[in-house]
Structure 1
Amino acid sequence: MESKEENIINWVRDYSRGELCENSKKALESFLNESRENKALFNHYRRLYANGRSIGFLNQLNEEKAWKQIQSSLSKSKIKTRKLHIWLPYAAAVAIIAIVSTILIKQHSSKIDFSKDYNFEQLAQQGDISATITLADGSRIKLVENEKQLISEKDGTQIAKDSLNNISYTPNTTSSEKLLFNAIDVPRGGEFSLTLSDGTKVWLNADTKFRYPVKFSSSRREVYLTGEAYFEVAHNKQAPFVVNSHDAKVKVLGTSFNVSAYDDQEFIATTLVEGSVQVNNLGNKKLLQPGYQSTIYRGRDEIEIQGVDTHLYTSWVNGVYEFENMELEYIMTQLGRWYDVKFFFTEEKFKHIRFTGAFEKENSFEYALNLIERVADVDFAIKGKLVVVGRE
């Protein structure tokens, strides 16, 4: 008799291939209707399978123990789920993580109790995650979560915020050509989206600063980014759209792309979904095609280009972080921004553990840690305001 885990694996495989027979379809529908946890579990593994990730490793696990751990991670209980020792041969990707109190943690890392049941949810997202908009006159207005707001610029432009945290601009047609700038500051743990005066749509990730004109000039559209944003640029042959990020410039006419340019990472990555963009770095220019990513290392004029799965770098727009062949250090940096926490690694080797997986933003912080624990063979603890990554 097949276990529940084996059923899920078979359903995911057949569903993804379009080979689900009528009996299996009914069984799957019944399973999904049983509980929210069942739906979350099926969708999680379906995402992994759809992106070429192996779920066959579940067959190696003790079935009863695995099922209990999966259920535990989906529940709201604070019981710590223990890791499963599995080795997964994933390739690496490099990133930088900024951690405070390093010396203090190093001195006391041997005293950290990884077996303790920590309240990770209490640590995550304790602060205010509301974004702030700075108007042309320098006044700052808090953008209240899930509430409608109407703001007027001094040139008569109307700035409307809806209950879904999206801002749109309605320019005053009689205003002068003088550029007035607004800026949105999205804190760690927050997110925001806006529609610029030309119809361009922008999604802003956590810990991002974005500066832009209230109304663009007739010949040029230029914005400034520190952090991460996804753009769907309105086409305009007469007015190129330029994203400035540190030393890099991304120039487009109309296209969809992602730019990651955080202050605490040494690289600027531009991922093109459709259309074409020109990447300019300290005078060096390269044209990017869909399905490719350019990487610029700050202070160097080279531009590296490689083919990538663009979904991995843009899924955050839909509330999902997907990782494939990525080092734990990079993943912790991303999750740290999303949940507004800081991480510290007790040993260098833990930074380079490789991981493939996916998290929805609606999942709890503890859910994400439990999943990493099971797959990556690490433990988590709390020291002060830091989440410590190590091994028991």
Structure 2
Amino acid sequence: MENFQEEYKISQLISKEVLDELTLEESAIIQEWVGRSQENKKLYDAIKNGKRRLARDKYVGGLDTEGALEKFRTKIVPPKRTVKMWPGWIGRVAAVLIIAFLSGGVYFLSRNTIKPTQQVAQTSLNPGSSKAVLLLDGGEVFQLESTESDSIRESDGTLITNKEGKLAYTGVRNKGLETIYNTVKVPRGGEYSITLSDGTRVWLNSESQIKYPVQFEDDKRKVWVNGEVYFDVQPDKKRPFMAMVKDVEIEVLGTEFNVEAYPETDRVLTTLVEGSVKLTKASEEIIIAPNQQAVIRKSEKRFTVKNVDARVWALWKDGVIYCESERLEVIMSKLARWYDANLFYMNPSVKNKRFSIEVKRYQNIDKVLDILAATNKVRFEVHENNITIME
């Protein structure tokens, strides 16, 4: 590197890269710098191979908001005096690592406006991936993976293709044959998407499933779901689309909506993104508009409706975990499904504490737990796939 100013700039960019916040332009700057010399490449690898992260975690664990900026200024802009630097490559690594750790810590503070005082042990828990189980009408079972590419022919002639984590149906309904059904089940730590025979697109979150006709009938399109599912329904005025969720019927013509109804909960939560839907439970009916959310519990006869930012509730299908002022129990349940983890609460009262969080869905869980623990309201211990939650 030519001078200390450039070292500082590069260290900032590398710290942003580790935090998954790098723009394409900034990434190009790093790659150009790495390609200049073998020394630059060695320095980059040293920072990225975990040395930077371990030191940053140790630093952030004891950071206080009042002293962070002052410490940052002291290290980056020292008083005018003679400074004796370590000689050679090792000294340059240390200098850049110090800057990277500090800039990472200050950046962390500015993004989350919290006081990090807790550490989370490193864990091998990995994010989920595209995987599911397909059950055909005749009882055959197929394991679906995003890395596989398969074609399956159903008994009515429908062609089922599986490619890159997406299942698609093509064919024409044979009116002489009885309607046959398929079921897709997504396990913990999984997700999958389907394009039904009418062109409707369906995204399934972890621990969710859908049962559907291979070819829809002439007068209606009816599916059965549980868990969390996002629908982008193909318009068809002649054949209304109906999703059966527990004891609630959701009827649409063409729309986008998210439904959450896990078996262990007693609620059905429907959030409308576009179009309109009619919800029915027994004799109770209600129609909701975009950016409205309807909730009904098993013991209730009437729906409760509130205004929301509907897109936020569908961010999971776009690779984002988002919760705003949500109970810790709800947040941890989402994480447990996605990372296939077991949860243990040392004190049940911590479940009711509220947090806001927005993180990328495909990163290791320790980054997520770091953010929650840094509020100083909760602590975590991770062993294998078990997470213990403490105050």
Instruction: Tell me if both proteins adopt one fold, taking TM over 0.5 as the criterion.
Output: yes
Alignment correspondent of 1:190: 190
Structure 2: 5+ residue stretches without partners: 1-8, 24-63, 73-98, 108-113
Alignment correspondent of 2:20: 40
Aligned-partner Cα distance in 1 for 2:278–2:216 = 20
Q: What per-residue deviation string (whole Å, max 9, x for no partner) do you get for residues 235-261 of structure 1?
A: 111111011111111110000000001
Matches within 5 A, 1:238-249: 238-249=238-249
SS of 1:312's equivalent? helix
SS of 1:120's equivalent? coil
Aligned-partner Cα distance in 1 for 2:267–2:224 = 16
Conserved? CA contact 2:204–2:229, under 8 Å: yes
Distance change in 2, residues 1:69/1:150 (3 Å): farther
Alignment correspondent of 2:68: 62
Matches within 5 A, 1:1-392: 34=14, 37=17, 40-41=20-21, 62-63=68-69, 68=101, 71=104, 84=115, 118-121=121-124, 123-124=125-126, 130-162=131-163, 164-174=164-174, 176=176, 178-375=178-375, 377-382=377-382, 386-391=386-391
Conserved? CA contact 1:183–1:212, under 8 Å: yes
Is the radius of gyration larger for structure 1 or structure 2? 2
Letter in 1 for 2:240: P
Conserved? CA contact 1:254–1:275, under 8 Å: yes
Give the superposition deviation at 1:176. 3.1
Give the superposition deviation at 1:354. 1.3
Higher relative contact order (CA 8 A, sep 6+): 1
Give the superposition deviation at 1:85. 5.8
Distance change in 2, residues 1:141/1:350 (3 Å): same
Please, what TM-score do these two structures have when normalized by structure 1? 0.72
Please, what TM-score do these two structures have when normalized by structure 2? 0.72
Aligned-partner Cα distance in 2 for 1:373–1:70 = 20
Letter in 1 for 2:375: V
Conserved? CA contact 2:230–2:314, under 8 Å: yes
Distance change in 2, residues 1:216/1:351 (3 Å): same
Aligned-partner Cα distance in 2 for 1:38–1:118 = 17
Letter in 2 for 1:136: D
Structure 1: 5+ residue stretches without partners: 1-28, 44-57, 75-82, 87-113
Paired positions, count: 310
Distance change in 2, residues 1:165/1:383 (3 Å): closer
Q: What per-residue deviation string (whole Å, max 9, x for no partner) do you get for residues 72-105 of structure 1?
A: 8x9xxxxxxxx9369xxxxxxxxxxxxxxxxxxx
Give the superposition deviation at 1:196. 0.3
Give the superposition deviation at 1:41. 3.7
Distance change in 2, residues 1:34/1:347 (3 Å): closer
Alignment correspondent of 1:21: none
Aligned-partner Cα distance in 1 for 2:166–2:12 = 32
SS of 2:290's equivalent? coil
Distance change in 2, residues 1:344/1:61 (3 Å): farther
Letter in 1 for 2:139: G
SS of 2:375's equivalent? helix
Superposed CA RMSD: 3.1
